[in-house]
Amino acid sequence: MKNITQEEWAKGIAEDENVEILDVRTDEEVEAGMIPNARQIDIHKGQGFIDEVEKIDKSKNVYVYCRSGARSGQACQIMDSLGFESTYNLEGGFMKWEGETTQPED
């Protein structure tokens, strides 16, 4: 896991073709908006979170965020223990995000 700044995040997701963006917030939090192209898997789902994360290609560079950066850090640690090669935690999370956002699909 690597903690990265918004600038590093924006550059990484723009230039990396082997990327997966993961939002680990709750459904209620996601209603406030999401980073474009993110997949939401709520970390509070416990084993359900692990089951869903296991479906992601472990060779992808996975960019993970939550509301403030704490849960996404935990998610990165879990994913690292599951064998993911590269996980990146957005410092400050969605609260500090200044880039583009989108509304979740129903």
Q: Which domain holds residue 90?
A: 2-96
104 located within any domain = no
Dihedral sign of CA atoms 44, 48, 50, 54 in order: negative
Q: What number of other Cβ atoms are within 10 A of residue 18's Cβ?
A: 11
102 located within any domain = no
The two structure tokens encoding residue 15: 């230039």
106 located within any domain = no
Query: For this structure, is 76 an active site residue?
Result: no
Question: For position 55, which CATH number holds?
Answer: 3.40.250.10
65 located within any domain = yes
Alpha-carbon distance of 31 to 27, in angstroms, equals 7
pLDDT band at 105 (very low <50, low <70, confident <90, very high): confident
Q: Which of 7, 5, 35 is nearest to 22 (CA)?
A: 35
Q: How many structural domains are present in the chain?
A: 1
pLDDT tops 70 at residue 106: no
Alpha-carbon distance of 50 to 47, in angstroms, equals 5
Q: Give me the pLDDT at residue 91, please.
A: 96
Tell me which of 66, 75, 76, 78 is the catalytic residue: 66
**What would the pLDDT profile of 32-91 be if each residue is shown by its tens digit?**
999 999 999 999 999 999 999 999 999 999 999 999 999 999 999 999 999 999 999 999
